Structure 1
Amino acid sequence: MENLLSPRVWLIYDGHRPARGQLNIPATTTFDIQTSFDEEHEGAMDFVKRTFNAPNSTSRRGQNEQLFFDEDGHLQFGPDDPENPMNYASGRKCYITAVAISLVMNATFSSSAPTGSLQGVSDDLHVSVEAAGLVTTLFLLGYCAGPLFWAPLSEFYGRRWIFYISFTFYLAFGFLCAFTPNFAGLLIGRFLTGTAASAALTNAPGVIADIWGPEKRGNVMILFATATFVGPALGPVVSGFLQLKETWRWTFYVLLWMAGATEIMLVSLPETLPMMVLRDKARRIRKAPGKEGVLAPVEVSDRTLGGIFKVALTRPWRLLFDPISFFVAIYYAIVYTLLYMLFSIYPIVFQQKRGWNTGVGELPLIGTVIGACIGGLALFVYGQVQARKPRARKPVPEDRLPGAMVGGVMFAVTIFWFAWTAEYNSVHWAVPTVAGTFLATSIVLIFIVFINYIMDSYLMYAASAVAANTVLRSACAAASPLFTQYMFDALGVGGAGSLIGGMAVLLMPIPFVFYRYGAVIRARSKFASGEETPRPPTDEEKAANDESPRMSRDRRTELAVGTSD
C-alpha cells in the first residue's frame, strides 16, 4: 500500500469504456462533470455530501476532471485524486482516526467496566459474585462471534454502514443491560453488546490502513493498540467508584452516555474502503451524459457475499495451525487472558487482602494505563530511531521483533515481581502497583509487535491470520472471570502468579526463535511470504487472485494489509 499509483497503467477517458485488450490511449482529454441538481439546491447538497462522504463532488461541478483507468478499462484513482482516502487532508484523517479510536474505546471500556460493580450485580439480581462474572465472559464471547460476520460484511458493503449498524445495535442493547429486571436479560444484553462492539475492533484498523500511508500508519496503529488496553484498565476504576455512591446500573448509564456521544460523531464518518469509494465515484460520473460506461472494478467482479463468508469462516482455522500464526496465537491467548485476569486480581490484592474499598481498590489499575502508554511511546521512539538509520538491505518482518523480545522477558519478570510483592501486606502497595505498570508495558510491546509481524508475514492472508488470533485470545480471556478467584484462593497470590509466570517463561523464547529462524519458517509455509525471492503461488492464492479476473490493486492491497479484521 506504500504507493498505490506506481504500478498502474493509467488511461485517460476518451468517451467510452474501452474493451479489455483493445485500449486506445489518446492524448489527455478532460470533460465537464454534469450533475442533476439545480443550483438552488447546491448549498444543501454541499453539506450533505461533505457529511456523508462524497468529497469534492460538488466542488468539482463546472470544472474539468480527468479520469484514469487501469489496464482493464476500469475507473481508478488518479495521481493526487482528492477522493482517494489516502489523499485526504491531514486534519480530516486525524478526525476520522479519532472517531475510529472512540469506537474502540467504547468497546474496550465496556468489556471490563462491570467488573468493578460485580458485588452490586450479585446483591441486586440475587446471584453469586462468580456468576456475576459472566457479564464479562459473555461480552468477550461476543468478541469471538462478531468478527465472523462483521468482517465479511464490511468487505462487501464497506466500512461506514457496518459502523452505523453495529454501533446502533450496541447502543440499543446497552439499554437492555441498563434497565433489565433480571440476570438473564443482563447476560443476553452483554453478549449482544459484545458482538456489536467487536465491529469496531475489526474495522478500525482497516480505516487506519485506508487513510494513512505506511510511513505514518505504524504510529497511528500504536495509538490504536494502546487504546485497546487503556479502555479495559479504566473500566473497573470508574465502576468501582460508582459502586460506592450509586447502584451497579450507573455503570451502564455511563456506557450509554459514551455511546450516545460517539454515535453523534459517527454520523460524519465517511466511507474509506477504496473499492467502495471508487464505486461511489463511478456512480456519480455515470450521471453525466455520455459517461454511462464508466465502471469501478468492484462493479464487474464476480465476488459474492456467500463466497466472502466461506473464506472468512474457513481460512482462519487453516491459518491458525501455520507455525508462526499458531505460536503467536498461543502467546496472545496467555497475554490477553492475564489482562482480563488482572481485573479480578487487583480486587483480591487491594480489596480483599488490604481492606481497601471498591473505589480506591481499583485505583492501582491506573498504573496499567500509564504502563500501556509507556509501551506505546517506547515503540514510537524505537520506530523513529530505526527510520533514521541507513539500511543496507530490504526490511523483513523479523526486523519488528526486538520489541517483542524485550516485552517477552519483561512479561515474565514483572509477573513474578507483582505476584510476590502483592502476596505480603508488609510490602508497600506502591511496589506491586509499579510492577503492574511495567507488566502493562510488556503486554503492549508484545501485542503491537506481534500484530505487525503477523501482517507482514502473511500479507494477503493477514486478515484471516489476525481473525484466528482474535477469536482464540478472546475465547481464552472470556473464561478468566470464572476461574481467577478460585485459582488465587487455592494457590495464593504468589503461587497463582508463579504459575502464570512459569507459562510466560516457557513462551519467552518465541520471539527470539522467530527472529533467528523466521525467514526459514516463512519460506516453508504454505501461507506466509518468503524473505526475498517470491515463491510460486499456492492453489489458494491462485483462487484468491482469481476471485475476479479484473481485481483492482486496491482490492489486492486491502487483502494484503488484512484490514477486514
Structure 2
Amino acid sequence: MIISVIFLVQTSMNFNTSLYSNALTGISEEFGVSMQAARCGAMIFLVLYAFGCELWAPWSEELGRKPILQLSLFLVNIWQLPVALAPNFASIMVGRALGGLSSAGGSVTLGMIADLWEADDQQYAVACVVFSSVGGSVIGPVVGGFVEAYLPWRWNIWIQLIFGGFVQVAHLLLVPETRTTIMMDRIAKKRRQSGEDPNIYGPNELVPFRERFSMREVLITWIRPFKMFLTEPIVLTLSLLSGFSDALIFMFIQSFSLVYDQWGFGTVELGLSFLPILVGYFIAWGAFIPVIRRNIEERRRKPDDERAQYESRLWFLLYTAPCLPIGLIGFAWTSLGPPVHWIGSMVFSAIVGIANYSIYMATIDYMICAYGPYSASATGGNGWSRDFLAGVLTIPATPFFENIGGKYHLEYASTILFCISFLLVIAVYVIYWYGPALRKRSPFAQQLSDARVELQTHGRRLSKIPSGSRANSFARSQQNLRIRHTLGSRPGSYIASRPAS
C-alpha cells in the first residue's frame, strides 16, 4: 500500500510539470502574450522545482517524511488556484513559481524507499518509483491533448488540482511515518507514557528545540544537499550524467509538435504521440526485473566484493545507455514527413524512452545504496540537475529546432543532440569502471560504508534484520548517527536512558 501511494505522489508531481504545456495556446490567446512568453510558466516551474527538491529534502531527514511531504503537497495544490483563476498573465507566473518551489520532488519519496528497504532489497521499489517519475511526465501530454481539444485551457490546471488533492488525502490516510529517528522518538515517548521504561528517550528528544532549530542548524540543513552535490564526487558525477541526458531528451520531446505537424497531427494525435515513450519506459522497467534478480544473486555470492555491492547496479546501463544516441539519430532521419511513415519516428521514440528510464533508474539506485539514510539529500542533486537543465532549455528548445539549418532543420537539430549524447554514453562506461575510485573520494559515502562494515563485523548485518522491526530501527539509527557529523549537522543521540536525577 505504501509503495502504491508513493507511486501516485511521484506521478502527480511530474504530471504537474508537463500538463501545463497544453494550456499554452489558451494562455497566449486570452492574455495576448506570445507562445514563448507563455512557455515561461513551464520554465519557471521547472527551475524552481529543482531548488524546491533541494530545500525540502533535508528537512524530511530532520522532521520526518510525512509532515514535509504533506506540507509540500498542500502548498502545491494551493498554488494551483492563482493559475486556474488567473485574471492576468502575471498571476500565472507567480502561481507557477510558488508551485515549483513548493514541490518536494522525488528526493523525499526516494528517501522513503531508503527508509523502508535495505540496500540489498531496494531495487524493485526504486524501479517502481522511477517509472512513476518518468511516466508522470509523459502522461501529462497524453491527457492534455484531450483537454486542449475539448475543454478550456484552465481545465489543465483544475485537473492537476483534483489529482493532487486526491493524492494528498491518500498519503495522509494510508502512509505512516517512515523516517527511523522520528519513529524511535515516538516509540520512546510511548514507552515512557505507558510506564514501561520512564528513562528512555529518542534521538531528538534530548536536544532542546532551540538548539535543533537555531539559525545555524537551519542553514546547515538547507546547505546539506548542495554541499553533497559539490563535495561528493559520486553525487556530482551521477547527477550531471542524469541531468544532461534528461536535458537532451527534453529537447527531443519539444520537437514533437513540429515533427508531427508534417503528417497533419491534430491536438489529440499529438498527445498520443507520447505513448511510444511510455511504452519504452514499460519495456525498460520489465527488462530491469531479471537484471535486479541477477544483481541480488551476485551480491549474495560476493558479500565482500564492493564492486558487486555497488557497481553491479550500473551493469545493465552499459547495454541500455547506447539506446540514447541510437534513438536520437533514428528519430532524426525518420522525421522527414510524408512519404516516410510516422511510425518509424515513434519506434525510435520508444528506444529513447528505454535509455531515459535506464539512466535514471541506475543512477538513483546507486546513490540510494551509497547514501542510505541521507539519500534524500543525495538524490536531491540528481533531481536538481534534471529539472534545472530541463527548465533552462524550455525557452530555447523550439527556436533551436526551427532555426537550425534549412530544409532539414528538424533532422539536423536532432542529429546535434545525437552527437552530444555520445559523450554521455562514454561517461557511463567511465563511471562504471572508476566507480570504486569515486566512492573512495566521497567522504560521506565512504564513512557510511565503513559504518555498515562495522555493523556487519558485530553480527548485525542490516539486510538480515526484518524491515520495520525495532531492531532494524535501532541498527539504522546507529548507522545514521555515525556518519552524521560529516555534513556538519548536530550530533544526535540514539535511544538511550537519561540518568535519574
Give TM-score scaled by structure 1 length: 0.74
The 5 A counterparts of 1:386-535 are 386-388=295-297, 391-392=301-302, 394=305, 395-457=308-370, 462-491=375-404, 492-529=409-446
Following superposition, the deviation at residue 290 of structure 1 comes to: 7.3
Moved more, 373-382 or 383-392: 383-392
Larger Rg over CA atoms: 1
Q: Deviations over 1:407-459 (max 9, x none)?
A: 22111111111111113432211111010011011111011101222334456
* Structure 2 unmatched runs, 5+: 455-481, 497-501
Matched, 1:383 2:292: yes
Across the two proteins, how many residue pairs are aligned to each other? 455
CA distance in 2, matches of 1:294, 1:461: 25
Structure 2 residue aligned with 1:257: 162
Relative to 1, partners in 2 of residues 1:525 and 1:426: Cα closer, same or farther, differing over 3 Å?
same
Moved more, 229-238 or 505-514: 505-514
Matched, 1:132 2:38: yes
Following superposition, the deviation at residue 482 of structure 1 comes to: 0.2
- Decide which of 269, 273, 278 is 1:369's aligned counterpart: 278
Relative to 1, partners in 2 of residues 1:203 and 1:488: Cα closer, same or farther, differing over 3 Å?
same
CA distance in 2, matches of 1:168, 1:462: 23
User: What is the DSSP-based 3-state SS (H/G/I as helix, E as strand, rest coil) of the residue aligned with 2:333?
Assistant: helix
Following superposition, the deviation at residue 501 of structure 1 comes to: 0.9
Moved more, 441-450 or 470-479: 470-479
User: What is the DSSP-based 3-state SS (H/G/I as helix, E as strand, rest coil) of the residue aligned with 1:298?
Assistant: coil
Structure 2 residue aligned with 1:344: 254
Structure 2 residue aligned with 1:227: 132
User: What is the DSSP-based 3-state SS (H/G/I as helix, E as strand, rest coil) of the residue aligned with 2:177?
Assistant: coil
CA distance in 2, matches of 1:354, 1:479: 29
Give the letter aligned to residue 157 of structure 1: L
Following superposition, the deviation at residue 465 of structure 1 comes to: 3.4
CA contact (8 A) 2:235 2:382 kept: yes
Matched, 1:548 2:491: yes
Following superposition, the deviation at residue 166 of structure 1 comes to: 1.6
Relative to 1, partners in 2 of residues 1:162 and 1:523: Cα closer, same or farther, differing over 3 Å?
closer
The 5 A counterparts of 1:300-319 are 300-301=206-207, 304-305=212-213, 306-307=216-217, 309-313=219-223, 316-317=226-227, 319=229
CA contact (8 A) 1:174 1:189 kept: yes
CA distance in 2, matches of 1:361, 1:186: 25
Matched, 1:178 2:90: no
Q: Deviations over 1:3-35 (max 9, x none)?
A: xxxxxxxxxxxxxxxxxxxxxxxxxxxxxxxxx
Give the letter aligned to residue 345 of structure 1: S
User: What is the DSSP-based 3-state SS (H/G/I as helix, E as strand, rest coil) of the residue aligned with 2:45?
Assistant: helix
Matched, 1:149 2:62: no
Structure 2 residue aligned with 1:169: 75
CA contact (8 A) 1:105 1:228 kept: yes
CA distance in 1, matches of 2:417, 2:431: 22
Relative to 1, partners in 2 of residues 1:318 and 1:253: Cα closer, same or farther, differing over 3 Å?
closer
User: What is the DSSP-based 3-state SS (H/G/I as helix, E as strand, rest coil) of the residue aligned with 1:133?
Assistant: helix
CA distance in 1, matches of 2:231, 2:336: 38
Moved more, 314-323 or 221-230: 314-323
Following superposition, the deviation at residue 142 of structure 1 comes to: 2.4
CA contact (8 A) 1:405 1:512 kept: yes
* Structure 1 unmatched runs, 5+: 1-94, 554-565
Following superposition, the deviation at residue 314 of structure 1 comes to: 5.1
Moved more, 292-301 or 359-368: 292-301
The 5 A counterparts of 1:154-303 are 154-196=60-102, 198-268=103-173, 269-289=175-195, 291-301=197-207
User: What is the DSSP-based 3-state SS (H/G/I as helix, E as strand, rest coil) of the residue aligned with 2:122?
Assistant: helix
Relative to 1, partners in 2 of residues 1:528 and 1:153: Cα closer, same or farther, differing over 3 Å?
closer
CA contact (8 A) 1:317 1:468 kept: no
Give the letter aligned to residue 342 of structure 2: W
CA distance in 2, matches of 1:309, 1:545: 11
Q: Deviations over 1:119-158 (max 9, x none)?
A: 1221112111111111211111221221233123222221
CA contact (8 A) 2:220 2:488 kept: no
Following superposition, the deviation at residue 468 of structure 1 comes to: 2.4
Give the letter aligned to residue 366 of structure 1: L
CA contact (8 A) 1:519 1:531 kept: no
Runs in 1 of length 4+ with deviation above 6 angstroms? 530-536
Relative to 1, partners in 2 of residues 1:108 and 1:319: Cα closer, same or farther, differing over 3 Å?
closer
Relative to 1, partners in 2 of residues 1:551 and 1:312: Cα closer, same or farther, differing over 3 Å?
farther
Give the letter aligned to residue 158 of structure 2: Y
Following superposition, the deviation at residue 301 of structure 1 comes to: 4.3
CA contact (8 A) 1:169 1:193 kept: yes
Give the letter aligned to residue 516 of structure 1: W
CA distance in 2, matches of 1:208, 1:156: 16
The 5 A counterparts of 1:37-76 are none
CA contact (8 A) 1:116 1:358 kept: no
CA distance in 1, matches of 2:92, 2:368: 37
CA contact (8 A) 2:11 2:132 kept: yes
CA contact (8 A) 2:111 2:373 kept: no
Q: Deviations over 1:94-126 (max 9, x none)?
A: x12211221111110110002123112211121
CA contact (8 A) 2:18 2:140 kept: yes
Q: Deviations over 1:524-556 (max 9, x none)?
A: 4444439998999xx997555883263469xxx
Q: CA RMSD in A?
A: 2.8
CA distance in 1, matches of 2:147, 2:271: 11
CA contact (8 A) 2:228 2:377 kept: no
Structure 1 residue aligned with 2:463: none
Relative to 1, partners in 2 of residues 1:531 and 1:418: Cα closer, same or farther, differing over 3 Å?
farther
Structure 2 residue aligned with 1:557: none
